[in-house]
Structure 1
Amino acid sequence: MTHHHVLQNGSDIRGIAIATKEQAVNLTPQATKQIARGLIHWLTQNPELARAFQEGQLKIGIGRDSRISGPNLLEAFSEEAVRLGVQVVDFGMATTPALFMSTQYPQFKCHAGVMITASHLPYYFNGIKIFSEKGGAEHEDIDYILSHSEDLPASHLGSVTSADLITPYAQDLVDKICRACDGQEKPLSGLHIIVDAGNGAGGFFAEKVLAELGADTTGSQFLDPDGTFPNHVPNPDNKEAMESIRQAVLAAGADLGIIFDTDVDRAALVTKSGQILNRNNLIAVLSQIVLAEHPGTSIVTNSPTSEHLKVFIERLGGKQIRYISGYRNVINKAIETNKAGIDCQLAIETSGHAAFKENYFLDDGTYVAAKILMLLPKLQTEGKSLDDLIDQLKQPLETQEVRFKLEAEDYRTLGEGVIDDFRQTNIEGFAFNPENEEGVRFDLSHPYGDGWFLLRMSLHEPLLVLQIENDQAGYIPAVLRTISTFLDHYPDVDQEKLKELLK
């Protein structure tokens, strides 16, 4: 029985772990056991690991975020791996980046790290992210793992031990921040920094990192793991979540706010003045950091970034490479760029996935926070703030995102067809922008104001996504009406969301 493609989501595995009225469970303990077998088959393609497996020396680390289905799936995975002779290290509650580091830290040296998480998705989802010592599993690796679930001979050599991964991981971050601040022991003393963990797995950051560095963390919120996510979606790309941390920062008069997603591979920040550093703003801050350290470097982003960001990066002497969405895609493009002899220090998506070359190109929200914390004491002494870092980044006056459901069986063909046809259209005030590898991008001018829009396929759903930015007020409805007229030729593109906006 191979329903395995149902569980594949790019380079992750995702599924329903708790039944709802609409959806039956497909990420079952049984499916998890099959994934454990698939992982062993995948790892043992390497002769060295095959030998380790034969001798009962294959070591797999496993952790989970705060989801309520986590303990059950973790247990199913461990049980199966142990039955087959694997040395399992159960890290309990952990973060996605920490699981990768379990393959690097000398005290663990796991051959693979397995993280049970579905990032910011609703509580009834869960999923699995997989790392080898080389980095995250690719799309084709997940394909292999899900399609190789045949049984292996049982072995009495397996075992499971529990270990704490978060403490050494947090200590590692503390050491890096101290080193970057000229070896000061408490570089953050005198700073008031608030953490919002959204009841995910990132609550440790307040006590084990910030407090250790001397920061005052009073007013931090939702640090307790709770897989029902009672307060807000743990997603730094979500408006309500960002407003929640923004209010907390302003109410406490804090110097900085940091918010993580559930499994802590993404972060966003709020400055003292309440300015939100996510999306283009976060890319701008991190670009300044890497360009100060590596003049002239290139930065890979996904495609829906503003034209203003490109100008900002180029003014700092850097180059922006706009690439297709999907955090693995952006990371792989950066790795490829370096292989081609062009220095590229940062891969980052507008969703907040950010990976530094110096940190194994691992997308890690705590590392992003750490890079910014390294900067704070320096800014303080110069009488500057994080707001000053994005002063030069022009903000669009108005933005709009609209999603269109594709009602066709073969939705991909429909979506790609619409995009191809749009590319050929000639509309006064819409100038085709060739510097784009995903969907179709146009620059807007009179009679549509001054801005740009991008129409692209959603990564994993049957949707077309439209993003518009304009530097002149009041023109977005005109842009929407023109696009709507164009889409009228395609009855299978559902314009309901757009029509609501135009009312």
Structure 2
Amino acid sequence: MTLTAFNWPQLQNGSDIRGVALEGVEGEAVNLTPEIAQILGMAFVHWLSQTLNKSTSELTVGVGRDSRISGPTLMDAVLAGITKMGSNGYNFGLASTPAMFKSTVTDGFNCDGAIMLTASHLPFNRNGLKFFTAQGGLGKGDITQILSLAAEQTFEKAADPGQVSEHNFIGVYAAELVSQIRAAVNHPDQFEQPLQGLHIVVDAGNGAGGFYAEQVLKPLGADITGSQFLDPDGTFPNHIPNPENKEAMAAICQAVTEQQADFGIIFDTDVDRAAAVDHLGQDLNRNRLIALISAVVLREHPGSTIVTDSITSDGLSQFIGDELGGVHHRFKRGYKNVINESVRLNQSGQESWLAIETSGHGAMKENYFLDDGAYLISKLLVELAKSKMAGRNITDLIANLTEPQESEEYRIKIQTDDFKAHGNSVISKLEEFAGQQTDWQIVPNNYEGIRIALNSPSEQGWLLLRLSLHDPVLPLNIESNVEGGVASISAKLTSFFQSIDGLNLPPELISS
């Protein structure tokens, strides 16, 4: 099996593999075929064998998938590659990304490695692979090695192929969450059903998260009436399963309001991200979600450092530091960046129990630093149950969080071949421009791009311009604490950007 002309590096997306698995979108040719998937399965087994110093016949690899249409075919192909190398494969069927990691550390399974077939919130035609060992998700360098092995294809098929067996691991994973919630609430009168009397609505967006309603909330006694889009459907007919998507958040907020529910939950496609909605139909997302889980974590671990990505608000920093007594460490975008920084801080002696991105990727030290949307929500449900028993609302925990009056994100496209060099040049020019503005101050200790504090009465906020991790784009985030502040800031920036060649400004920035 050879694909000598195939461009394997094109499949790398940071610490994941992603590609086009189905026809149907103009200009997007299929590059993640069953043949490619089978070779990737073989390459991962070869990599595992070298990394763990085990023969391929000693290895067991678990494979799961989200609800994408291409999932079953690609899963069969990956498992074929695994077994051709002599390893045994566990077919976990529909699963979540966090569950796939857990299969490597759960007694009775203890897979040597695991693969999740998912492309997160990307469109129906995309798919990809995420890889795990008991040490966690593979890093960027590991993926590069696996793709190199796939390109070389120096591995040989085993004389005795391995076997595939089917297992319902998502049921095992769900049962563990149920046990954790029961133990954490520890209600003497309703230990088995600590969520009894709570009405909780789940929106899975037709991804892989529908199990949470039936297999976690129901056994705990919650009323899940009004939960929606629980059935897996890889065409995603209702909305994109993505907590950052406005339509998706509007759908779960509306469901909570219509059902007069106590709480709402929304997951992304593969359940490594989540967001919530309070009893008033207000979203608990981005800064509000970070503040809420930070309040829980800092009560359990006073003084801990909370690591977030770069676009969190000034109000969140003040809340974590002044209100909760924690340390806010604002780092780079990218969930792996945030997690790795929290791990690094712990290794250096600075206690950090939470790493979380505004996208909803949240990872906790107590849970292998796994970005696990279901685990994050389960932590909040424990607090929800305790709050109800005490006659409080869970949102009382963030009553003193100062939120911006206005916030916007714009994506400025870079139209040059060497987009990274040009993007960095634009950031340097903005630094010069900022120095010429009254009441603009460059924020120190910023880890990517440039963050500027805006102190004039008509602006009162901040902006961050950075280079996208993978795309020829300069994301621009602006927040203001005064009405009309974003428009005032945007107008000043538009004239600056229009003076630079090679940029395509979004219409909403020009018209703001």
* Alignment TM-score > 0.5, same fold: yes
Q: Deviations over 1:63-96 (max 9, x none)?
A: 0000000011101111111111110000000000
Output the amino acid matched with 1:330.
Answer: V
Q: Following the alignment from structure 1 to structure 2, what is the Cα–Cα distance between the partners of residues 475 and 154?
A: 63
Residue 154 (structure 1) aligned with residue 154 (structure 2) = no
Of 309, 325, 331 in structure 1, the residue corresponding to residue 333 of structure 2 is 325
Q: Following the alignment from structure 2 to structure 1, what is the Cα–Cα distance between the partners of residues 222 and 449?
A: 44
Residue 403 (structure 1) aligned with residue 404 (structure 2) = no
Q: Following the alignment from structure 1 to structure 2, what is the Cα–Cα distance between the partners of residues 88 and 258?
A: 33
Change in 2 beyond 3 A, CA 1:499/1:370:
closer
Output the amino acid matched with 1:43.
Answer: L
Q: What is aligned with 1:77?
A: 78
Residue 239 (structure 1) aligned with residue 246 (structure 2) = yes
**Offset, 1:501:** 2.7
Change in 2 beyond 3 A, CA 1:447/1:378:
closer
Q: Following the alignment from structure 1 to structure 2, what is the Cα–Cα distance between the partners of residues 409 and 294?
A: 48
Report the 3-state secondary structure (helix = DSSP H, G, I; strand = E; otherwise coil) of the residue aligned with 1:233.
coil
Percent identity of equivalent pairs: 47
Report the 3-state secondary structure (helix = DSSP H, G, I; strand = E; otherwise coil) of the residue aligned with 1:442.
strand
Aligned residues of 1:448 and 1:476 also touching (Cα < 8 A): no
Q: What is aligned with 2:355?
A: 347
Aligned residues of 1:275 and 1:387 also touching (Cα < 8 A): no
Residue 26 (structure 1) aligned with residue 31 (structure 2) = yes
Q: Following the alignment from structure 2 to structure 1, what is the Cα–Cα distance between the partners of residues 510 and 229?
A: 34
Report the 3-state secondary structure (helix = DSSP H, G, I; strand = E; otherwise coil) of the residue aligned with 1:423.
helix
Q: What is aligned with 2:423?
A: 415
Q: What is aligned with 1:211?
A: 218
Q: Following the alignment from structure 2 to structure 1, what is the Cα–Cα distance between the partners of residues 399 and 288?
A: 10
Q: Following the alignment from structure 2 to structure 1, what is the Cα–Cα distance between the partners of residues 211 and 426?
A: 46
Output the amino acid matched with 1:24.
Answer: A
Of 349, 372, 380 in structure 2, the residue corresponding to residue 364 of structure 1 is 372
**Where in structure 2 are the equivalents of 1:73-472 lying within 5 Å?**
73-149=74-150, 150-155=153-158, 156-182=160-186, 184-315=191-322, 316-425=324-433, 426=435, 427-446=437-456, 448-472=458-482
Which portions of structure 1, spanning 4 or more consecutive aligned residues, are displaced by more than 3 angstroms? none
Output the amino acid matched with 1:473.
Answer: E
Q: Following the alignment from structure 2 to structure 1, what is the Cα–Cα distance between the partners of residues 293 and 181?
A: 16
Q: Following the alignment from structure 2 to structure 1, what is the Cα–Cα distance between the partners of residues 8 and 237?
A: 31
Q: Following the alignment from structure 1 to structure 2, what is the Cα–Cα distance between the partners of residues 51 and 142?
A: 20
Output the amino acid matched with 1:68.
Answer: I
Residue 497 (structure 1) aligned with residue 504 (structure 2) = no
Aligned residues of 2:459 and 2:488 also touching (Cα < 8 A): no
- TM-score w.r.t. length of structure 2: 0.95
Q: Following the alignment from structure 2 to structure 1, what is the Cα–Cα distance between the partners of residues 468 and 424?
A: 11
**Offset, 1:416:** 0.9
Q: Following the alignment from structure 1 to structure 2, what is the Cα–Cα distance between the partners of residues 64 and 13?
A: 14
Q: Following the alignment from structure 1 to structure 2, what is the Cα–Cα distance between the partners of residues 431 and 154?
A: 61
Q: What is aligned with 2:47?
A: 42
Output the amino acid matched with 1:462.
Answer: P
Q: Following the alignment from structure 2 to structure 1, what is the Cα–Cα distance between the partners of residues 102 and 248?
A: 28
Aligned residues of 1:63 and 1:99 also touching (Cα < 8 A): yes
Q: What is aligned with 1:474?
A: 484
**Offset, 1:43:** 1.2
* Structure 2 runs not aligned, ≥5 long: none
Output the amino acid matched with 1:383.
Answer: G
**Offset, 1:130:** 0.5
**Offset, 1:460:** 1.8
Report the 3-state secondary structure (helix = DSSP H, G, I; strand = E; otherwise coil) of the residue aligned with 2:421.
helix
Cα-Cα RMSD: 1.2
Aligned residues of 2:406 and 2:479 also touching (Cα < 8 A): yes
**Offset, 1:231:** 0.2
**Where in structure 2 are the equivalents of 1:45-64 lying within 5 Å?**
45-46=50-51, 49-53=52-56, 56-64=57-65
**Offset, 1:447:** 5.3
* Structure 1 runs not aligned, ≥5 long: none
Q: Following the alignment from structure 1 to structure 2, what is the Cα–Cα distance between the partners of residues 266 and 119?
A: 9
Aligned residues of 1:429 and 1:447 also touching (Cα < 8 A): no
Q: Deviations over 1:45-71 (max 9, x none)?
A: 23xx34342xx1211000000000001
Output the amino acid matched with 1:266.
Answer: R
Output the amino acid matched with 1:246.
Answer: C
